[in-house]
Structure formats: C-alpha cells, structure tokens
C-alpha cells in the first residue's frame, strides 16, 4: 500500500513535470512581453516602411512565412544563405523574395533586444502585419519559435507547395509568366489553351507572355483587386480569372465539385467567412513543428546559423 502510494506520488510528479514541459513547449501570444516589449511595434513599423517602398513586399513576406513553415516547420530555414539553401530549390529559385526586408527587421529588433527574438517568429509577425496592412484580418500571432540549424533543399523541392490550398494567399502579389504559360499554349499537349481561362484574359496574357518571351515577366495573381487582401480572388475563380492552374482548379476541376468548389463560392460571397478561415489556417500553419525550449537557437543573423 505504502509502496503503491509513493509510486502514484512519483507518477503524479512525473505527470506534472511532463505537463509543464508540454506547456513550456507551446507557443504563446505574450512570449516576448517582458524580454522584448517593443517587438510588435518595431516589426509593424518596418513592414509598413517596406510596403511604402514597394506594395508587393506584403505578398512576398506572406509567402516567406508559408515557405518557411512547409519545410522543416516554421524554423527560419528558408532564410539561410548558401548554395544548399532552400532559396535554390525549384519552387523558390528566382521567385521567393523579401530577404533584405527581413534583414532590416532583424537588425532593428536586435538593437532593441539583442539575441532574444527568433527569425522564425519575425516571419510570422511580418506575415500577419502584411495581411493586415493590405486590408486583411488581424490576429494574435503565436510566438516562441526558435531557429533551425539546417536548411533543407530536398524538403523544399518535395514539400512545396502543398497539393491543396484553401488559404487564399493569392489575393495579393505577382506571378511570373514561367509559372502559368503552359495554360496559354499547352507546350506538352496539342497547343490548345486551358479552357478554364477566361478568353479576354487569355489574350491579355498571351500578349504579356509570348512563346519564348521573358519568363520572368510578372502579372497580378488577383486581377482587378491586385493589392487588397480581400475575397475578390474567389470571385475571379468563379469567372475563370484565376491566374495559376493551381488556383483555377479549386473551382473548375472535376475534383473540386466534391471538395473545394462550394468553399470557393462561399468565400466569394462572404468575406467574413474567408477572413475567419484564413486566420485559423494561418495560426495552424504557424504551429507546424516549431522548435522550442532548448532546441535550435536564436540566430543573430537570419542568413546564417550562429557559430
């Protein structure tokens, strides 16, 4: 009896210990309240300045957080320089951008609170602010991630992007001819343009992106609502005006009839619903395998691991 009491007592202590470990490893909205009280103000100001210089930067920063989280979790791995970096993976090459802005954010934050805030968290805050400053919803960002020690180029080649997307990040930003030209010419098939692309838009895009033209030329992902974070993207999908094949299939593919089509309709009619679901998705995405506790590190320079 005595033995089993102490056994239970021990188990209870162990359980509390594990619980406290679990609690400590969770992200929280006030993680830096005392260690870096001005953090959110500093990042907001920096993002604001960057968007003033170039509107597109909001989109680029949002995408950075997405591409960070989908490879080895939200650990700042996308920011690491080097030829084996994720920057050189096919979905990112000549495409992902905003690194100089992240450098500026990091150096302002380092001046205020040296060695305290992770690059992974800066990406999460910058993404939130980018959405907000372009007219989108606001949410409380979960914080407390630490930075990873390795980049994962293979992971970036295999894991980006996910085959389904109900976040709707393509309501802002640009895409290059190289990523949608096949819809205009079907190079691998009989040369018939994608029938789920509006015909006026098709001829516009063919002018912009001639065969053998400059694949780096860009156009807006969300035509006619280019810089506003809103549900117009979904209205475009209803009208066959999605830019990427991966956008338009959310409404037009056979598979969509039983999966995403009703969601597209609902988001296009109800922006509150889109915003609410988008916020939930962003928080979920931000929770993908964060490094916490003593895992990883707080990088001094977002481009390199500490020596």
Ligand X SMILES: *[C@@H]1O[C@H](CO)[C@@H](O)[C@H](O)[C@H]1NC(C)=O
Q: Among 144, 148, 173, 296, which residue sits at the site for ligand HEM (rule: CB under 6 A)?
A: 173
Distances (CA, A) of 113 to 27, 131, 157, 251: 19, 25, 35, 46
User: Could you say which residues in the range 213-252 bind ligand HEM, by CB under 6 A?
Assistant: 221, 244, 246
**Beta carbons within 10 angstroms of residue 249's beta carbon:** 20
Q: Among 112, 132, 150, 175, which residue sits at the site for ligand HEM (rule: CB under 6 A)?
A: 175
The distance of closest approach from Cβ of residue 161 to ligand HEM in the complex, given in angstroms and rounded to an integer, is 4
Residue 50-69 contact track with ligand HEM, rule CB under 6 A, x = bound: ------x--xx-xx--x---
The distance of closest approach from Cβ of residue 165 to ligand HEM in the complex, given in angstroms and rounded to an integer, is 3
Q: Spell out a b/e string for 85-95, using b for 16 or more CB atoms within 10 Å of the CB, else e.
A: bbbbbebbeeb
With contacts defined by CB under 6 A, how many residues of the chain interact with ligand HEM?
Answer: 23
**Beta carbons within 10 angstroms of residue 28's beta carbon:** 13
Minimum CB distance to ligand X smaller for 12 or for 276: 276
User: Could you say which residues in the range 225-284 bind ligand X, by CB under 6 A?
Assistant: 245, 270, 272-273, 276
CA angle 96, 229, 217 (to 5 degrees): 40
Q: Which of these is catalytic: 65, 67, 170, 232?
A: 67
Q: Is 232 a catalytic residue?
A: no
Stretch that binds ligand HEM, among 31-39, 104-112, 162-170, 251-259 (CB under 6 A): 162-170
Q: Among 216, 239, 262, 306, which residue sits at the site for ligand X (rule: CB under 6 A)?
A: 216
Alpha carbons 218 and 205: distance in angstroms, whole number: 10
The radius of gyration of the chain from alpha carbons, rounded to an integer in Å, stands at 22
Q: Among 45, 49, 55, 95, which residue sits at the site for ligand HEM (rule: CB under 6 A)?
A: 95
Minimum CB distance to ligand X smaller for 2 or for 235: 235
Q: Is 283 in the site for ligand HEM (CB under 6 A)?
A: no
Minimum CB distance to ligand HEM smaller for 66 or for 274: 66
| Residue 253 interacts with, from ligand X, ligand HEM, none (CB under 5-8 Å by kind) | none
Stretch that binds ligand X, among 3-11, 50-58, 127-135, 176-184 (CB under 6 A): 176-184
- Residues in contact with ligand X by CB under 6 A are 30, 33, 72, 94, 150, 152, 154-155, 158-159, 178, 182-183, 186, 189-190, 194, 204, 214-216, 223-224, 245, 270, 272-273, 276
- Residues in contact with ligand HEM by CB under 6 A are 56, 59-60, 62-63, 66, 95, 97, 161-162, 165, 167, 169-170, 172-176, 179, 221, 244, 246
Point out the residues that are catalytic. Answer: 67
């Amino acid at each position: 009896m005595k033995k089993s009491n102490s056994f239970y007592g021990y188990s209870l202590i162990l359980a509390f210990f594990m619980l406290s470990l679990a609690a400590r490893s969770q992200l929280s909205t006030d993680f830096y309240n005392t260690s870096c009280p001005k953090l959110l103000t500093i990042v907001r100001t920096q993002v604001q300045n960057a968007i003033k210089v170039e509107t597109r930067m909001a989109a680029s920063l949002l995408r950075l957080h997405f591409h960070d989280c989908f490879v080895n979790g939200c650990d700042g791995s996308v920011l690491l320089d080097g030829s084996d970096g994720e920057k050189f993976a096919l979905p990112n090459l000549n495409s992902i951008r905003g690194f100089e802005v992240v450098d500026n954010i990091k150096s302002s934050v380092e001046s205020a609170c040296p060695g305290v805030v992770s690059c992974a968290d800066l990406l999460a805050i910058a993404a939130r602010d980018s959405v907000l400053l372009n007219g989108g919803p606001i949410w409380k960002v979960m914080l407390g991630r630490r930075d990873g020690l390795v980049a994962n180029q293979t992971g970036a080649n295999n894991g980006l992007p996910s085959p389904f997307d109900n976040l709707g990040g393509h309501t802002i930003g640009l895409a290059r001819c190289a990523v949608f030209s096949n819809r205009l010419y079907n190079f691998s098939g009989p040369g018939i343009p994608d029938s789920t692309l509006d015909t006026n838009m098709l001829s516009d895009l063919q002018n912009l992106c001639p065969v053998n033209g400059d694949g780096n030329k860009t156009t807006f992902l969300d035509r006619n609502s280019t810089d506003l974070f809103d549900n117009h993207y979904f209205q475009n999908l209803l009208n066959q005006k999605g830019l990427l094949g991966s956008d338009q299939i959310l409404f037009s593919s056979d598979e969509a009839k039983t999966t995403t089509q009703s969601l597209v309709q609902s988001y296009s009619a109800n922006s509150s619903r889109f915003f609410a679901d988008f916020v939930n998705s962003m928080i979920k995405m931000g929770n993908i395998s964060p490094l916490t506790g003593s895992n990883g590190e707080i990088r001094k320079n977002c481009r390199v691991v500490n020596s």
